[in-house]
Amino acid sequence: MKYSKLLSGLFTFCIAFTFAQQPATSADVVKNALEQKRSMTQQSIVKNVPFKNIGPTIMSGRVVDLDVNPEMPSEFYVAYASGGVWHTINNGTTFTPILDKSDTQNVGDIAIHWPTRTIYVGTGENNASRSSYAGIGILKSTDNGESWENIGLMDAHHFAPILVHPDNPDVLTVGVTGHLYSPNTERGIYKTNDGGKTWKQTLFVDDMSGIIDLQHSPNNYNVMFATSWTKDRKAWNFTGNGTNSDIYKSTDAGETWQKVSRDGSGFPTGEGVGRIGVAVFNDDVVYAVHDSQFRRPSNKKKSDKRGLSKDDFKSMSTEDFLALEDKKLNTFLKTNGFQEKYRAENVKQMVRSGNVKPIDLAKYLEDANSLLFDTPVIGAEVYKSEDGGKSWSKTHDDFLDGIYFSYGYYFGHIHVSPANQDHIYIYGVPIVKSKDGGKNWTSISAENVHADHHALWINPKNPNHLVNGNDGGVNITYDDGENWIKNNSPSVGQFYAINVDNEKPYNVYGGLQDNGVWKGANNAREDKGWHQRGQYPWKSIMGGDGMQIQIDNRNSNIVYTGYQFGNYFRLNLETGSQTYIQPKHTLGENPYRFNWQTPILLSPHNQDILYLGGNKLMRSMNQGTDWEAISDDLTNGGKKGNVAYGTITSISESPFKFGLIYVGSDDGLVHVTKNAGDNWTKISDTFPKDLWVSRVVTSQHNIGSVYVTLNGYRWDDFSVYVFRSDDFGQTWKDISGNIPASPVNVIKEDPENENLLYVGTDNGAYVSFNMGESWEIFSNGLPNVAFHDIVVQPEAKDLLLGTHGRSIYKANIEPLQKMKDELKSKDVSIFKLSPVRFSNRWGSSWSKWLDAYEPEKTIQFYSNSSGTYSLKILSDQGTELNSMSINADKGFNYLDYNLELTEKGRKALMKENTSIDVNKASNGKYYLPKGTYTVMINNSKTKLEIK
């Protein structure tokens, strides 16, 4: 099994192997990988490369939990699904991240014991989303995140609520959801009485059913209610219901449990029971919200509708179809956007010939996106018990439509006001409240409140004060939802993909989970100044779940992007026009399958040529207006399920030859064509089977070279799969080297240095200087977050990392691109410095109440060993103007120099050049005047020009 990556040697696949599907990665492997990563970080030669977060922040990211100080509610903690834990002491005006010193940013639940300030974090989101990342157990901190201790349950992966005993922070009862994609036994209810030194599993349902919610009576820790959830997520199917989805009760603080959602209790039982959330008002009054997957009763009543609907064609016979009035059929076809060629006369002829069946008209209108909202299940429903869970009754008569749709597995919480048992809140896409115990409901969503809600806190001393967490961050209300404040200062965007243009300054584009597609200048100020200016520097250019972006390099106003399942558009940002360009199958043909994150690519040879991947590769020669399939199905054909699968996930065309194209699929296949799609060859037979092809990237330096990364996340396989071929995919080398175990999302080749590669995993970003023989880890400024995309802006020589949880990071990599053998032969090598523009503002400010402006120039150098060196600033005639002792690490070093010269250096410079005068600045310092200077470390020198 390919778990350990401690060997740095390369090996070549020269013959075909048969690979069995890898099992879920063990907790021991994860633990070893984290230890390996920490060791690599300390020794990395790129550990000092400084990364800066460039935002954006305003759209935020998915909140999964909140914990508010009950004595001072202006202080609270916010947990983001993949963005860590953030702390505020000023009611959300500003936040500080406190999980950055831990091994992960993936969070499922947080619990604070406020009297002792003990913080517990259950790592790993439990919402069962397609981007719900596994955690590494429960973390504990007693110093507000300065240090973290892992106290166990590493194989739990995903956590439900953690209940801390109000009188003893060492007593915890924990709900464990378990693995997302595979069975495991470390799930259920766990309890510790010694702060996590030892754990006891007090409830186990089965290896596919974990605990999704856990609550205790507000004034009685002994009385607890837990909900189990049977689910099975695969890459091609999600089942969020089963016979072991139930409600359990404990009266001894979680030591023992009794199922209370039995037959005859009034609460639903059986195969259709989905995710359940509970809210406890007191020992007797309990609410439950249920994502019912039972089918709605069929409506036998005759419809009053006059026109045709999609569903009419699902059971219509050929005879009945041919008997339809042409006018009535044409109205349906035009209203539903059928192409002009599909009109009544033509479609009837296609049906007569047997090439098309009536049901094909319904299929033509259905895709994976529409099926998210078109569902026959009951959906959200609320139940109440007034006898401590012995009996239950539904609180409402009608269906609660428009709350869960078909993805109630993503929500599942209910809250009851501490002040009134009849005031309850549930949420899904909107957030709604009831003031009569669940009989009637009203929305409290607002124009500045994002959809998709996951967390709520109700102030026990002022129940009109609510704090809400959703896919778009944090909102606060003081009038029970009539008006909301938005509190989005953390940089926690969940990017799927990023890209850049060639403007000056260049712009960065990115598609985010449930937050659309945004564009902003790479050097935009990410601060609160935009409140004063009136315009946020990033702009939304598309809604939905934001996906990949391609920018026409001839005109950056022409942008191709879209949202989930292949819904792509051609945008003209200058005129504001949007043209829908998704390819459509021919009526009667099997519908195309589009991945959640459908890949697109503008040809490097002609920017009018656009590629888009379904299950076939589509090509447009005219900017997406017309399409043709240039391949047959390049997958294994899909699988029966409710998630689009058997789809292309990555496309790459060689810059050396038009039509030399590689594609990868979600079911583990890689194909190549050398003649623009006339012939395709499968080149993935030697790879592990069934793994998601996260990237296929053709080389910019060698026509025959190509890189492939595979991702086992959807099997809970966290092994590292990175491959390179130098013969168009006939043979492959494993270049995963020493990368610690974590699924790989992206590989990027440096545009200047062919030996330089970048890789992003679910827990780190890496660089190789030798084509993958060994890897170094980036860490300065970077938390342990999922890195989804990597882009290099070639002219600026900037590396941009798109994270799924902490927005976008940027670093200049010009020194890294110069990494060659001669660097290793010198003790110290200083890299070239760009000129500095002189300013009279140095050392002064326009107001005595403001800090003086201090100039800064970063001196970049490479050292072949760690040690202490002397840095000197010399005039153009060699006179010493300043010197300082500096500490250097082995590898790349970055020293910020404030352009100051000493009193002695000032006198020497003015003696050397009598035409200049160096005056003391307002802050009492002397700064270098205009001129050319030498920066020297040991015997290495470079010029510094001040203009």
- pLDDT greater than 80 at residue 87: yes
pLDDT of residue 365: 87
- The first and second tokens of residue 571, run together, are 């945008």
Interval 851-871 mean pLDDT: 95
Interval 694-714 mean pLDDT: 98
Q: d(Cα 744, Cα 595) in Å, to the nearest integer?
A: 18
Residue 306 pLDDT class (50, 70, 90 cuts)? confident
CB-CB contact of 514 with 131 (8 Å): no
Say which range, 2-11, 213-222, 249-258, 486-495, has the weakest mean pLDDT. Answer: 2-11
- pLDDT greater than 50 at residue 78: yes
pLDDT of residue 677: 98
The CB-side HSE value for 584 (13 A sphere, CA atoms) comes to 18
pLDDT of residue 843: 95
Alpha carbon distances (Å) from 380 to 211, 428, 514, 543, 609? 19, 9, 21, 26, 45
pLDDT of residue 9: 34
- The first and second tokens of residue 39, run together, are 């060791």
362, containing H or E segment: helix 359-365
Say which range, 42-56, 213-227, 356-370, has the weakest mean pLDDT. Answer: 356-370
CA dihedral 505, 612, 724, 676 (to 10 degrees): -110
754, containing H or E segment: none
pLDDT of residue 766: 98
pLDDT tens per residue across span 639-672: 999 999 999 999 999 999 999 999 999 999 999 9
Question: What Rg, from alpha-carbon coordinates, does the chain have?
Answer: 30
Of 828, 833, 788, 793, which Cα lies nearest the Cα of 813? 793
The dihedral sign for the CA sequence 769, 771, 773, 775: positive
Q: d(Cα 741, Cα 16) in Å, to the nearest integer?
A: 24
State the average pLDDT for the chain: 94
Give phi and psi for 399, each to the nearest 5: -70, 145
Give phi and psi for 839, each to the nearest 5: -140, 140
Convert 199-267 into a string of H (helix), E (strand) and C (coil): CEEEECCECCEEEEEEEEECCEEEEEEEEEEECEECCCCEECCCCCCCEEEECCCCCCCEECCCCCCCC
Residue 519 pLDDT class (50, 70, 90 cuts)? very high
DSSP class per residue in 13-42? E-S----PPPPPPPHHHHHHHHHHHHHHHH
pLDDT tens per residue across span 709-718: 999 999 999 9
Task: Please tell me the pTM assigned to this model.
Answer: 0.94
Residue 825 pLDDT class (50, 70, 90 cuts)? confident
Residue 6 pLDDT class (50, 70, 90 cuts)? very low
- The first and second tokens of residue 941, run together, are 């020198």
Of 195, 213, 96, which Cα lies nearest the Cα of 138? 195
Q: d(Cα 96, Cα 85) in Å, to the nearest integer?
A: 8
pLDDT of residue 345: 92
- pLDDT greater than 90 at residue 138: yes
Mode of pairing for the β-strands spanning 764-768 and 757-761: antiparallel
> What percent of the chain is modeled with pLDDT above 90?
90
Asked if omega into 297 is within 30° of 0 (cis), the reply is no
Interval 596-613 mean pLDDT: 98
Alpha carbon distances (Å) from 300 to 20, 296, 303, 307, 854? 50, 12, 9, 18, 77
CB-CB contact of 929 with 916 (8 Å): yes
Interval 92-112 mean pLDDT: 98
Of 734, 770, 721, 775, which Cα lies nearest the Cα of 10? 734
pLDDT tens per residue across span 257-284: 999 999 999 999 999 999 999 999 999 9
Compare 470 and 407 and report the one with higher pLDDT: 470
Cβ density class 495-518: b for 16+ within 10 Å, e for less: bbbbbbbeeeebbbbbbbbbbbbb
- The first and second tokens of residue 585, run together, are 């199958």
Give phi and psi for 42, each to the nearest 5: -65, -35
pLDDT of residue 363: 87
CB-CB contact of 663 with 648 (8 Å): yes
Q: What letter represents residue 899's amino acid?
A: L
- The first and second tokens of residue 339, run together, are 């192409």
Interval 272-300 mean pLDDT: 93
- The first and second tokens of residue 366, run together, are 């259905």
- pLDDT greater than 60 at residue 3: no
682, containing H or E segment: strand 681-682
- pLDDT greater than 90 at residue 536: yes
Residue 864 pLDDT class (50, 70, 90 cuts)? very high
Residue 820 pLDDT class (50, 70, 90 cuts)? confident
**Cα separation of the two ends of the chain:** 59
Residue 375 pLDDT class (50, 70, 90 cuts)? low
831, containing H or E segment: none
Residue 372 pLDDT class (50, 70, 90 cuts)? low
pLDDT of residue 500: 98
Interval 560-569 mean pLDDT: 96
CA dihedral 13, 17, 23, 24 (to 10 degrees): 20
Interval 90-101 mean pLDDT: 98
CA angle at 305 for the pair 302 and 309, rounded to the nearest 5°: 100
pLDDT of residue 406: 84
CB-CB contact of 763 with 783 (8 Å): no
Q: d(Cα 134, Cα 82) in Å, to the nearest integer?
A: 10
pLDDT tens per residue across span 757-778: 999 999 999 999 999 999 999 9
CB-CB contact of 207 with 268 (8 Å): no
pLDDT of residue 212: 98
pLDDT tens per residue across span 456-470: 999 999 999 999 999
Q: Which residue carries 């990115």 as its tokens?
A: 510
Of 752, 682, 745, which Cα lies nearest the Cα of 708? 745
Strand boundaries in 301-430, DSSP class E: 377-385, 393-394, 414-416, 424-427
pLDDT of residue 303: 52
pLDDT tens per residue across span 735-746: 999 999 999 999
SS3 (DSSP) at 767: strand
- pLDDT greater than 70 at residue 371: no
- pLDDT greater than 90 at residue 809: yes
